[in-house]
Structure 1
């Protein structure tokens, strides 16, 4: 295959075997998860009318990730990553069909839903570190930023459709919503199973303390990797506005489950627009500075959303928040993937997933708990202010991260 080394067109990019299968596998998985999150979030809040209950949704997903991070990373670097992802997706499909069955028979309780969420968390603890390594093993290094942007485009499309589908389907019954999620997880498993890339020759790796903690040691020895991962942890941890969306939809904006789907899809629309732009026009220079600017925008949009009582303004703020986040994601993902050796990539990706899980699921828990004390509006506003403060500190603490210039010509630390 004769593909030029300069910036590729979309047609040239998708010629790489396995790329579309990997992207569509992730897209269907995301579609199912986003649809599921709307249904479960609304159903739990409808049953409990508690912000804390919504916070425990994030904790239930995060706790298994925290416990399983080291063995998950070790398995990713030792065994066939594609097979691990397929098995995990099948487990997630089984969890979704259990939700559908119990909901159909009116036996679904918050306790059972938390148990299912923990099972989801266990499966995704092993799935995500493996899934994160696919693109870097399919496309050349200089094409990776665009491949990441393309993947983000379809991921965000799923993030738009998922909440909308979840909100609409929930009006016809939660059981129907969970059945659709089951089908989507199975489609993701099929797409992932068809990925074609040359199997990576893995060096036998005995189970040892040194190998288990290898990813953590590597991250702390690379300032740019540590700075990128920890920035996501603390910035998004504090700016967890999405956990409060069911409360905003029901009690503040009064827009119902369909409105909740619109709100959840709004950030994905902004992210999709930016990701599509970056697929055609990748970040060429000053990548580090642009990432920090994106984090500032993320914080500002979070504050305005927290104060908004108008659905249109809230949608605009969430779209801006999503667009800013995808810029940060592309820069951080590229840095982490390209600065990490392949034989270490699974363990580093697993640790990175803990940081991402901390910022997302644990961020939902933090927002829920804070909302119980100061109210949902103050919780969101305080989080947005905290995001901006963290970005300012990280500019000072990690100057090498701010000075990152070109993503297609990274040099090791």
Structure 2
């Protein structure tokens, strides 16, 4: 039988792709509205710098549950049916959308309600990330996995384009409407996951010490220099270059384009990322993948600086689109390396560590950007963050020589071929 070339020729992957698309539209639609609501509510009684701090606190509320639950969520994804985990978390997110929608409908929205729901969303995503991330390698053969990762990123990025714009326009029509639509999309994503056929269970020893199994994911990442370098590069680069956290400030006070303009600003990075993802789904990288990832992160930092300095909407949108394309290339390389270099029985726990790093760069990046903006202003904070991302890229190319040496996505022939701390020493 001929092996499939396209991941879309595989039935279960199509359901996974549909679920990812629907949930991403819902998540991004909620994120843009939550950010706007928090900043708008805060600005009614606070100065811009104080309101920026409140905006950054949304990231803290979402990150803390993930930081606390990382070991548990990874272990759960390697021990429990990953499809069921995804369905439960998507249902939880639908309930969160319902709560925010009811408060918006009755006009009783408040900062503490939004923070509480943001923390609940953080718990749901902490469990969803490792489980959903580990599904694709179980559904497609290794040779097709890089294309599947790129195709999944297309769903994620198209949702990133449509979600913010949809959320902004629906919010302009009625404050409760984006939450209602997001709730329906979350439920639809859960149904799509349920259509995936039962998977082969992992070989995780059910008689071993659970705590020891939980920390195995941390040990694996620490020992595998290539995986550690790829994950940590994204953590620190995005942590410093978190321009997207400042978009409500740019939309309201700097570019003065309002809620609808905020939707366009949120969608611009996704446009660039979608174009890059489509390209890689058709023409996957074949050589010098590590060097190309480093160049992409440096480009991400440069585009961040340009956006930070811009006061012209078209230039701002262009810089954000370049930023998104560069970030997509980095994500594509990183995820392909992690998935192909990690055995199936470890993917949930390694994925949880990766999710922690990614969320740390996103949610903590929002908090860092908010705090820095409160001290020196939004524009200097964004510019300094972009410069920091460029510096991190140069530093990581020296600290982790395994990154520029990575030529292809070909997985190691055996566990002994994986670059570890001991081999480097």
2:42 equivalent in structure 1: 48
What TM-score, normalized by structure 1, do the two folds share?
0.97
Distance 1:127 1:207, change over 3 A: farther
In the TM superposition, structure 1's runs of 4+ consecutive aligned residues that sit over 6 Å from their partners are none
Measure how far apart 1:401 and its partner are.
1.4
Gaps spanning 5+ residues in structure 1: where? none
Aligned counterparts, 1:202-351, within 5 A: 202-205=203-206, 206-351=208-353
Q: Secondary structure at the match of 1:171?
A: helix
Residue 14 of structure 1 is matched in structure 2 by 8
Superposition pairs for residues 144-223 of structure 1, below 5 Å?
144-196=145-197, 198-205=199-206, 206-223=208-225
- How many angstroms does 1:15 deviate by? 1.6
How far off its partner does 1:173 sit? 1.7
User: May I ask how many residue pairs the two structures share in their alignment?
Assistant: 407
1:104 match: 105
- The answer (yes or no) to whether the contact 1:31–1:162 under 8 Å persists in 2 is yes
TM-score where L is the length of structure 2? 0.94
The answer to whether the Cα contact below 8 Å between 1:145 and 1:408 also exists between their aligned partners in 2 is no
What is the RMSD of the two structures over their aligned residues, measured on CA atoms? 1.1
1:389 and 2:391 correspond: yes
Residue aligning to 1:28: 22
1:138–1:197: 8 Å Cα contact kept in structure 2? no
SS of the residue 1:254 aligns to: coil
Report if the CA contact (8 A) 1:143-1:408 is conserved: no
Distance in 2 (alpha carbons) for counterparts of 1:197 and 1:308: 50
- Unaligned 5+ segments in structure 2 are 44-50, 420-425
C-alpha distance in 2 between matches for 1:155 and 1:102: 28
Give the C-alpha shift of residue 237 in structure 1. Answer: 0.3
- 1:405 matched residue in structure 2: 407
- Separation in 2 of the partners of 1:14 and 1:340? 23
Give the drift of 1:410: 4.6
Q: Deviations over 1:93-130 (max 9, x none)?
A: 01110111111111110001000000010111111100
Superposed displacement of residue 402, structure 1: 1.2
